[in-house]
A and B are shown apart, each in its own frame.
Chain A
């Protein structure tokens, strides 16, 4: 997998053109040939199966044989400015769960609305979810404009509707782009068919987003374990954000003390000068005696060390009743905690539930204040995802998860 690709999720109602858009993105960036693109623009077969993402992947397998991408579950495309990777969001439950468990992560989202059909329930639900996981950069695509003769009125109506709906969430879509994925209008380039639209096409909009690859974010290193190898004490763990150089000073959280990284080590490689996001390494640390699992080495002092924070939760096993003993696990940090639920959502409709705030069941989505017994180091999910998501356990069994907003 290549780094520095901006992960985006493409979401919206099933029939509003997702696979056509993906096919168009790949075709316009030269990854797909014309006949393959034709295949993808029709997303169902005689058996009436909704093929979507998996079908696109199938079609791509031949391209992949040429060695373009190795990862078989992600799709990449490249604009003049940067590389993007498309994260699948099959259904909203899976989407939420994937984001929380770290199986996938998106920095930005594209929300598709069919100009002909307008805003559907599913559209709203996806919008809610984007808000729940704190994706700030949302591009709304008003697709299939060719079916409504590029009507500005229809476009304006939909934009107004979306703005109204998003007003209640903490998400403000950056762009509303009228387009036709089928005809390639306003995807890779602007098109005179929509003369009244002066905003950017999709590629331009995406390229405008500010994006920091994980390597460029602040250094975060949750300690997994400490090993005694020979006469050395090696602090083992994985870099969950940023990078570190040998000789650098970093902070040991949650205590907050300054320590020095003397050496970076890997098996058979001593004296590594620099290591970055994703690498499992060993560190020789000076300046402190009691480093242990659960501590976090941080490159700056801006990670929050807190005993409480706001989070969006997803419950996936068993029940929760107010007062239950729960444990939180965030990277390698653990603590007992309690929950104060402020809002609950019906997972099917994303309507707010006003009752039963003392209780959670499988599938429930909720906003809550999490109070901990000890201090831990965290970041918001949108800033550093690894430090902004957590798992909740009851009696050692994972029962829920959440993201820190």
Chain B
């Protein structure tokens, strides 16, 4: 029997919260596992810190300028045409593809990792995670479709339900997690895998809508269930393959309580950086005279002359536009005078790779509680909706064997390297 690896993903679980849960006794199973030789690290997520980008960085061990995914939404080159990047748009190989090609590892179970839709060929089984629309396109190979269906597999809960029926929604999360656990265990027991990477996304959903309850039984109860998931899956894997396997747990970003939404485009419009033609649709609204626009969650694109049909900012002008933007945004404050933006990063400091040109020019990092939005719908700069939590980028979680250390902060690109190293 060759080398084996088990990776568990817990979407949106912040370092601080999981260590707290372990210390306070709500995650006894995980605590016990860690005592056997694992340490917990704070990990830097991708830029921007949303699931599709971060999990792709995890899968490929590369930064967005290498794998090509910069958000849930993007614009087609030289146009304002909106599209939704999916698995077909990932430009770098995943760790399991690399290992397979090198002959170092074969059958992989990849379950529910975001941005793996549509399901693509694999030696093993791939079940797509969010955003997946058609179940029959979310499973490779298709022979698993019927069995998964018969076990009532759910890719994602009904997100609209939470607006009318919070209790029902919570129950859905509990059920979905239970089904995922059941199916994971069955797959581990019934079939042979060299590696299994299984992701829980219910945590992210819980956090989005209930983060104000993080110190209550609502969370404690749910984290106990997550703990069961982790412990049971770990033990099932251990039972089958013995103690000697690589084990990792990671999240793709952290979370914090949301104070308000900050609609960047509304702000850019007010301050004269963006003009729109409301008779057109989506990002086609961007009109001549625009200097910059935003996309979710904190991406800023300069309206370059050569890059956009109605763009006019010349290369010589870019520096100036950026300076003005930074000055304006760093001074943006809410009604109470608290600054919204913590820092603004230039693309050259964070992106490197063949798709550098497609990258956003600036990434805004907000202060905790200020949820940056890139929509073109909302007209007010500050708004609220039903969401109680928002993503954070510097406190994702990474749990690795004690022998693995980092001389700078761990990043979301590290786990893939660890896995590849292990099998090599």
Contact = CB atoms under 8 A, between A and B. Distances in A.
Contact of A45 (B135, B142, B143, B146): B135
B134 A42 contact: no
Interface string A179-194: 0001000000000000
Given A44-B149, A46-B155, A38 B133 contact: no
A62 to B, nearest CB: 14
B318 interface: no
Interface string A6-48: 0000000000000000000000000000010011011011110
Contact of B133 (A39, A42, A44, A46): A46
Interface residues of A, number: 10
Given A46-B138, A46-B155, A41 B132 contact: no
Given A44-B135, A46-B132, A39 B142 contact: yes
Interface in B130-186: 132-136, 138, 142-143, 145-146, 149, 155-156
Contact of B142 (A38, A44, A46, A47): A38
A42 B149 contact: yes
A42 B135 contact: yes
B138 A42 contact: no
Given A46-B138, A46-B155, A182 B146 contact: yes
Given A46-B138, A46-B155, A41 B133 contact: no
Nearest to B158: A48
Contacts of B134: 45-46
A42 B132 contact: no
Contacts of B136: 39, 42, 45
Nearest to B156: A46
Interface in B383-420: none
Interface string B110-134: 0000000000000000000000111
Contacts of A38: 142-143, 145-146
Interface string A264-296: 000000000000000000000000000000000
A199 B142 CA distance: 33
A45 B136 CA distance: 6
Contacts of B155: 46
A190 B135 CA distance: 32
B126 to A, nearest CB: 15
Given A38-B145, A42-B135, A44-B135, 6 more contacts: A35-B142, A39-B142, A42-B136, A46-B132, A46-B156, A182-B146
14 contacts: A38-B142, A38-B143, A38-B146, A39-B142, A41-B145, A41-B146, A42-B145, A44-B135, A45-B134, A45-B135, A45-B136, A46-B132, A46-B133, A47-B133
